[in-house]
Each structure stands twice: as structure tokens, then as C-alpha cells.
Amino acid sequence: PFFTTAAMAAGDAVVLEIDGAIGAATADYVISGIEYAEEVDAELIIIEKDTPGGLMGPMEDIVKAILGSRVPVATYVTPAGARAASAGTYILMASHIAAMAPTTRLGAATPVSLTGDDATPDMKGEPDVKDDQEDGNDAAGEESESASEAPSGSDLERKVLNDALAEIRSLAKRYGRNAEWAEKAVSEAATLTAREALDLNVIEFVADSRGDLLNQIDGYEVEINRETVALATDGIVIDEFEPNWRIKILSAIASPEIVLLLGLVGVYGLMYEGLNPGAIVPGVVGAICLLLAAYGLQMLPVNFAGLGLIILGIALMIGEA
């Protein structure tokens, strides 16, 4: 319903672009692009990406859309110097084809909180059972030392880490990629260059340009809905799927940095209104900012956020009367 490109003939390619942090609007854009590609029976979806990461909720929505797509998805980290860090690594691992341009990088997928604090337990003190067994150490004799060196993270932190490890491991195994390194990207924030990723079987292709990538994947076989499909990209027509004005506005609001600022303004605005009843402006601005922040964090769908703003406006008009 939000498509702005012209209709294509069957067999063409839809190109999506992720540039910047991943938020709710990014997920809306990618999901809309995948739906459009399915409607026109496209041959391929290419997601060109340069991202430092983003919110976990939108990332998981994108991953689900890629996994359920009836059109093969090739994620291409580009241009030179770009990255697929944090949430971008999961999206790359979820794609049917993972490709990178030279001098790009991926990894550092350890979950962190919105404020930048580490959301996972400290694993440095965890004893290496394999090494102990190889060295012939007595397990009973090491019991007290191992207990003192156990990870200090909370139960929630361990849940977050273990869930992230399971997700990226399953995505890597789905396409026969290096699951061991994928786990290190989460547990150790490991990173790789494009050439290193190719050598370690983390990605399938290193391409200098989009055209080079299309030439390399011509005839490449991928599995879609349990069926093996050979791609035909020779002479394929490229169509850039552009976000409409609605998605562009929501992208600005849903940026993680903007969401954090909106949340702070909202909280302090309501606090000021509570300490100074009748000021009105701080309370109104604070309530609006909190609703927008709730949308950006995917605590509220965009329709509910809009409904909340309407209700707030009606309440303010009644209060004014």
C-alpha cells in the first residue's frame, strides 16, 4: 500500500537500501519492499546496506520477512567502507545470499541496551571445560575456583545473550555458513573484513559493484520454500524501490538516537508539569514525545501511536474548554 515505484515485468530485481540505524520505519520499508517484489513476481531482491545496527524488534521483523520471502533475497554490504554491524549482521546471515564489497566489514553483534551499556554477562571469567579436561585437572579440586569465576551477569542478561546466540547460530546453519564464527560475533563482538568473511565461509560473494554481484550470482542456486531455484540475472532490469514520504518521516522519528532524546524530553516534560501545575506546554510536549518514543521503540504500532495523539488532542481541547 506504500509503493511508489512503477510496475515491473516479471523476472526483474527490486533494490532496497538500508542506510543508517535500523528502526521501526526501516522494518516497515523492507517488509513493504519484499511484499512488492512478491506481487510483481520479481526474480531477486537486493538489499544494499550500510548500518551500525539498531533496535532488536525491527531487526527481528526484517529477519522474519526475509525468511518467509517467496523471492530470493541478496543482502549486499556496500559501498566501500560500509559495515553490517550488530543488527546488520543478523540480517546478512538471514539472507539467501550474503555479499560484501571490498573494504567493508561485519560483526560486533553483541546485544547492548539503548543507552549503550552492555546487556550481556561478563563471560571472561567462565572456566574453559575443554582445556581443563585436556590438562587432566581434577574437577572436584577446581570446584571452588570455578564457582568464584562464574559469570556475574544477571539472569536477564544471560537470557538476552543466549537468545541472540541461538538466533544467529540457527541463521548461519540454515545456509551452511560458519556458525562458530557467527557465535563469536555475539559472544566476543568479533568482526571480519569482506575477504576474511569469504575465506571463513561467512558470506558467499565479494563483489566490486552491483553489476559484478549480478554477474557472479547468475545461475547460483538458492532454496525457496524447500525448492531449489537457479537465479537468472543476465540482463536483469533493476528497479530502485524508494520509500514514500510517510516512511521517510517515520524513519526520522524512529532513529534510535532520536527515540532516546524523545524519551528524555517526554519524561522531564511531565516531571516539570507535575512540579509546576498549569504550565501546560511542558506537559503537552512531554506527552507527545513519549508517544512518539513508544512508537520508535515498537511499544506502540504506528496506528496506536496516532490514536494516542488524537485522544491526547481531544483531552487537551476539553481541558481548555
- Given a cut of 70, is residue 172 above it in pLDDT? yes
15-40 pLDDT, tens digit each: 999 998 888 888 889 999 999 999 99
Burial 5-24 (b: 16+ CB within 10 A, else e): eeebeeebbbbbbbeebbbb
Half-sphere exposure of 90 (CA within 13 A, CB side): 29
pLDDT of residue 136: 44
Position 158 confidence tier, pLDDT thresholds 50, 70, 90: confident
Active site residue 159: yes
Q: Looking at 64, 113, 154, 159, which residue is catalytic?
A: 159
Beta-sheet pairing, 227-230 with 221-224: antiparallel
Least confident of 9-13, 22-26, 187-191: 9-13
DSSP 229-265: EE---TTPPEEE----HHHHHHHHHH-HHHHHHHHHH
Beta-sheet pairing, 83-85 with 105-107: parallel
218-263 pLDDT, tens digit each: 999 999 888 899 999 988 999 899 887 777 777 777 777 788 888 8
Compute the distance between CA of residue 100 and CA of residue 174 in angstroms, rounded to an integer: 19
44-61 pLDDT, tens digit each: 999 999 999 888 888 999
Q: Looking at 32, 49, 69, 86, which residue is catalytic?
A: 86
Q: Compute the average pLDDT of residues 139-161.
A: 54
Name the CA dihedral angle for 125, 130, 133, 139, rounded to a multiple of 10 degrees.
40
pLDDT of residue 114: 54
- Given a cut of 80, is residue 173 above it in pLDDT? yes
Active site residue 130: no
